[in-house]
Amino acid sequence: MKYPCIITCLLCFLCSVFSTEVEAWQTDENIIFGVHSKTAPLEWRNNGVDQGFHLELMSRIGQMTGKRIIVRRKTFQQLLADVNDDTSSIDVIAVVSPVTIDRQLSQSDPIYATHAKAYTLQGKEFIHGWHDLAGKRVAIKKGAFVDVYITGQPQGFVRVDVDLYETGFMQLIAGEVDIVLAENFVARRLMPHYPSIRSSSDPLIYGAFNFVSNSKNARLMAEINDALRQLKLSGEYDRLVNKWFGTGREKVDLSNTQQRLLWAATLVSIISALGMLLTGYISHSLKKRTHALNLELAQRKRAEHQISRLSQQFQSVLDGIPHGVTLFNRDCVSLWSNDNNNELLSSSDFHFINGDIFQLNKTLIQVLDSQTSLIADMAYRTQFWQLQIHPIGNDQAVILLEEATEQHNLRQANDEASRLASLGELSAGIAHEINNPTGIIIHAIAFFNHALKDLQQATDAYGKQNPFWLIAGLEPQLAMTELNQSSLTVEEGAKRISHIVKDLKRYALPKVTTEHQLLDLNEVVKVSQRLTANQTKIFRLNIQLNEPAPMIMGDAQQLHQVLINLIQNACHASKPATGDDSDCDTITIETNISGNRGCLTIRDTGAGMDSTTLQRITEPFFTTRRSCGGSGLGLSVCSRIIKEHMAEMQFSSRLGQGTKIKIQFLSVPDSIKALKLSSLEQDT
């Protein structure tokens, strides 16, 4: 009696399906559904059959609205063009829209949520937010919801447009981009094919799938929304979601799986039928055994699912940590690692910040024997790291590596700022205390010079009356010559002190906004060259001025001071001509335009500087010419003037090969904008 019932049910089911198909084909109205994705479980083709969540949902909506669904597959860019074209045959497509931004086209209620994240190569740093994208090359799929989201917003990264997310992944492997911002479902499909790529951020953009159509189909979109809401209210939408997304994995080959399950079910049914025909006892035993096995299998699946979920969560957390984490045993064997920067531990360039050699084996044994954690600052080439070794029991220890280059540089900058601030305050006090007595000396020595001129005649007359008269044990004429020379020496020394005091006062003064004007950089060079002509005449001077002349915003007098100081330093470092011009050093001054920025370069072929001197040349009071009267304030004042002009001064030098100083000024529009911002900050 059971078999006729089963056959009857199958016939009824086939009839209902057939009648439904007939009704669909007899419908006068069609909905052309544009499909582009190859991403399971949304929409893809398997063995020539279109399937997926979007396709089944749209098919069900077509049944409810009495319309026939016709699938058309095109590229993503073609579908975007069609849906914006009122004359196109495409009626509806499924796309992702950011949750905070609506597309201009007519779109349905949200269908299913998704998100986009950053993807990088294995071992690269974790992306904590949009600020970590600054300065990086980021691949964006043209027209995708990531493109829609960032369009019109400020971007601190270099955008690289691609036609497909897969193109972005290939460019990432080739080193043409640093990061790919990709939609979750597509990235999950692609990552098994690109094992060197990993997910490197939490969701940066949240979006939702929507059905989208152009304005001519507003009535059609209203019908789709009504059908979609009915499906949600009836619970059929939840059934579809559970069918396509319930397992939490992509369904790449669902048709083959269904076929295998169908064959397996058929085989089981045949075996069961034979068993039922052979003996009821065997049937009863099989049922009991099957029930027990099903219970055990269900329990194992639940346990495996929980273990797998916890393992994936734990692994994703460890992989997401940008710092190196490694577990070692006493024999220095790595038991586990997240493979982030752990190659430093075996590098000979990795050492303690005080210069002591780092030996992993020795340090690890010391920590385990003492059972005391070690936290130390380390250096690796130009980077700085923090090393932490924590014992776990007597035989294992965990090593944590965290890059601390930025923190180290900030500490150094803070120490430098504090030291310079102290020097500034000290300079102001010294300048004030020295200035008054220096002025008195200069005033007095001027009086002595006039007095000596007047006393010369009296000395001559008295010397004739008294031939044996001496001044300080010297003959009158010799004594007057010595007095004149001493007076000139004192005056020159006092003026030197006054000049140093002026430099100190300028260095110690707070920043004062100067009225910058439009300047010809070539004219600044010509004026400075004329003022230093007496010093440069004994050298080979090469002046190369760009035409048209670079135009900058600045203060001409201050820039003359900077260039004169740099020319004088080049003269001090160069060898003058001794008779043959080929035997002297060359000083080159040139201007040029790089991009839209004016550049000034001063080069000499003189003595050059070592790296230690090069790092300190802009420090106040640092000089290599102390014995020759250098005060060490010239370049520090120049550096301050250049900073006030919002320009950059770059030094490069090698011993015996000369020195090059390059100054880059902002373009005129950027300079004006920066001056306005600086003025606004001071007013505030």
Q: Assess whether 162 and 233 both reside in one domain.
A: yes
The pLDDT assigned to 569 comes to 86
Q: Are 68 and 29 in contact (CB under 8 A)?
A: yes
Report if residue 37 sits inside a domain: yes
Give the list of residues 6+ apart from residue 134 with CB closer than 8 angstroms, or none. 156, 157
pLDDT digits (tens, 9 = 90+) for 510-556: 544 557 888 899 999 988 888 788 788 888 889 999 999 899 888 88
Report if residue 11 sits inside a domain: no
> Cα 612 from chain centroid?
30
Tokens 């904590």 sit on residue: 128
Beta strands in 419-522 (DSSP E): 517-520
Question: What mean pLDDT comes out for the span 372-390?
Answer: 89
Integer-rounded Cα Rg, in Å, for the chain is 42
> What average pLDDT does the chain have?
81
pLDDT digits (tens, 9 = 90+) for 579-595: 666 678 889 999 999 88
pLDDT digits (tens, 9 = 90+) for 161-179: 998 889 999 999 999 999 9
Sign (positive or negative) of CA dihedral 585, 574, 598, 409: positive
Phi and psi, residue 517, nearest 5°: -130, 165
**C-alpha–C-alpha distance, residues 646 and 665, integer Å:** 7
Tell me which of 486, 508, 530 is where a domain ends. 508
The pLDDT assigned to 642 comes to 87
Q: Assess whether 398 and 540 both reside in one domain.
A: no
Q: Assess whether 283 and 206 both reside in one domain.
A: no
Question: What mean pLDDT comes out for the span 229-251?
Answer: 79
Q: Are 43 and 96 in contact (CB under 8 A)?
A: no
Neighbouring-strand partners of residue 199: 119
DSSP-assigned letter for residue 566: H
Tell me which of 369, 388, 403 is where a domain ends. 403
pLDDT digits (tens, 9 = 90+) for 24-62: 344 448 899 899 887 778 888 888 788 889 999 999 999
Q: How many domains does the chain have?
A: 5
Q: Assess whether 313 and 328 both reside in one domain.
A: no
pLDDT band at 255 (very low <50, low <70, confident <90, very high): very low
**C-alpha–C-alpha distance, residues 162 and 146, integer Å:** 12
Q: Are 228 and 237 in contact (CB under 8 A)?
A: yes
Q: Are 386 and 393 in contact (CB under 8 A)?
A: no
Report if residue 544 sits inside a domain: yes
The pLDDT assigned to 252 comes to 41
Q: Assess whether 347 and 492 both reside in one domain.
A: no
3-state secondary structure 10-42: HHHHHHHHHHHHHHHHHCCCEEEEEECCCECCC
Q: Assess whether 336 and 425 both reside in one domain.
A: no
Give me 97's structure tokens.
Answer: 């829209």
Query: Which amino acid is it at 479?
Result: A
Residue 203 or residue 444, greater confidence: 203
Give me 149's structure tokens.
Answer: 């989201």
Q: Assess whether 241 and 305 both reside in one domain.
A: no
**C-alpha–C-alpha distance, residues 448 and 446, integer Å:** 5
Range in 305-309, 386-390, 538-542 with the lowest mean pLDDT: 305-309
Report if residue 4 sits inside a domain: no
Kindly report the number of other CB atoms within 10 A of residue 330's CB atom.
15
3-state secondary structure 220-246: HHHHHHHHHHHHHHHCHHHHHHHHHHC
Give me 333's structure tokens.
Answer: 């064997």
Q: Assess whether 192 and 73 both reside in one domain.
A: yes
Report if residue 641 sits inside a domain: yes
User: Quick one: what percent of the chain has pLDDT higher than 70?
Assistant: 83
pLDDT digits (tens, 9 = 90+) for 443-492: 788 787 778 777 777 777 777 777 778 777 778 788 788 888 888 878 77
Residue 667 or residue 547, greater confidence: 547
Domain region containing 294:
255-318
**C-alpha–C-alpha distance, residues 68 and 70, integer Å:** 6
H-assigned helices in 331-398: 360-370
Phi and psi, residue 152, nearest 5°: 85, -5
Q: Assess whether 283 and 369 both reside in one domain.
A: no
The pLDDT assigned to 42 comes to 87
Any idea what the CATH number is for the domain that residue 62 is in?
A: 3.40.190.290
The pLDDT assigned to 601 comes to 94
Any idea what the CATH number is for the domain that residue 638 is in?
A: 3.30.565.10
In this prediction the pTM is 0.36
Q: Assess whether 216 and 277 both reside in one domain.
A: no
Kindly report the number of other CB atoms within 10 A of residue 651's CB atom.
14
**C-alpha–C-alpha distance, residues 508 and 205, integer Å:** 50
pLDDT band at 508 (very low <50, low <70, confident <90, very high): low
The pLDDT assigned to 644 comes to 86
The pLDDT assigned to 257 comes to 52
**C-alpha–C-alpha distance, residues 573 and 635, integer Å:** 14
Range in 263-272, 467-476, 661-670 with the lowest mean pLDDT: 467-476
pLDDT band at 185 (very low <50, low <70, confident <90, very high): confident
Report if residue 264 sits inside a domain: yes
Phi and psi, residue 162, nearest 5°: -130, 160
- Res. 247: pLDDT tops 70: no
**C-alpha–C-alpha distance, residues 548 and 527, integer Å:** 18
Q: Assess whether 220 and 264 both reside in one domain.
A: no
pLDDT band at 181 (very low <50, low <70, confident <90, very high): very high
Q: Assess whether 306 and 161 both reside in one domain.
A: no
Residue 246 or residue 236, greater confidence: 236
Helix (H, G, I), strand (E, B) or coil at 599: strand
Give me 384's structure tokens.
Answer: 């700085």
Tokens 């000083």 sit on residue: 587
Report if residue 8 sits inside a domain: no
Range in 1-15, 138-152, 153-167, 550-564 with the lowest mean pLDDT: 1-15
Report if residue 365 sits inside a domain: yes
The pLDDT assigned to 428 comes to 64
The pLDDT assigned to 10 comes to 47
Tell me which of 352, 377, 403 is where a domain ends. 403
pLDDT digits (tens, 9 = 90+) for 330-358: 888 888 787 777 788 888 888 898 888 89
Q: Are 67 and 29 in contact (CB under 8 A)?
A: yes
